[in-house]
Structure 1
């Protein structure tokens, strides 16, 4: 059993990349899928650095695109492990864009990637325990516990909810749909 502890700071990674025309969508803004790809890369790097193993993405929590990113801006992604389970880690990611001419920085996105540590055969392996040293690290860890509980509650609701009941069908009539 792995009793080793690592600190949050041992997991931290920052990457910056200049946004090019090849990264843009049809509207001339940086494509959200490209940003998601960068987020997945930094989540992998962060989790692998922390665990010392290959890691895979198990899930991605809400991704809200808060402000568009322009061609020519410098995008900086910061990631750290916020929570650890036995074989999984929640990596918190923040994305900022900077207009390199004016110095204006915008928070564009925050998200949480759940990563699972794997061995060479693809089996899940135990990750080091997490040593929390600041109030902010404790807050982030506790927020992850709440998000995990909310997800479990939502999944349980999906398993037991009766979508064919008369109550549900009446409720659906309030929306912009037609039931065939």
Structure 2
């Protein structure tokens, strides 16, 4: 049995949520009307290869993670929204998030992988530029991997079992990290 704990806060800005959760390092997936950005989080601030600090004013949804916890923030009015922090370690929950969330007791926890689109097309020791002809480029805070490697997002899925009928399902997912994986030599490189 694995327990996922959470606390929430309503009416907070994304910078306030980042300050309250005090991520020393991490990765942020930031959605804005004009772009989807992957940023590095350092001491509660987001930065990209092009901008330090990154302007969060247009972001309407964010997921920030560091392997131990995940912050989710969704804007609902102006620049304010609801923030929720998820973790298996209850001591990492911020006291400044006043709303307790009922803990999730999972019967199992599984690792899930999501291959990031695009192949490494540039970068350095801190950033990888992924490219695919149909979509364009995306810069990711991960050292540029070798030519036979790709990047993937790693998540933890929490499996619950319905007590009435016994069916199991993924009841929650928490993002963990970005890592390298060998490229599939059979994969179509023209996609």
Q: Answer with 1 or 2: which has the greater Rg.
A: 1
Greater relative CO (CA pairs within 8 A, separation 6+) = 1
Establish whether TM, by shorter chain, passes 0.5: no
Normalised to the residue count of structure 1, the TM-score between the two structures is: 0.30
Between Structure 1 and Structure 2, the one with more strand by share is: 2
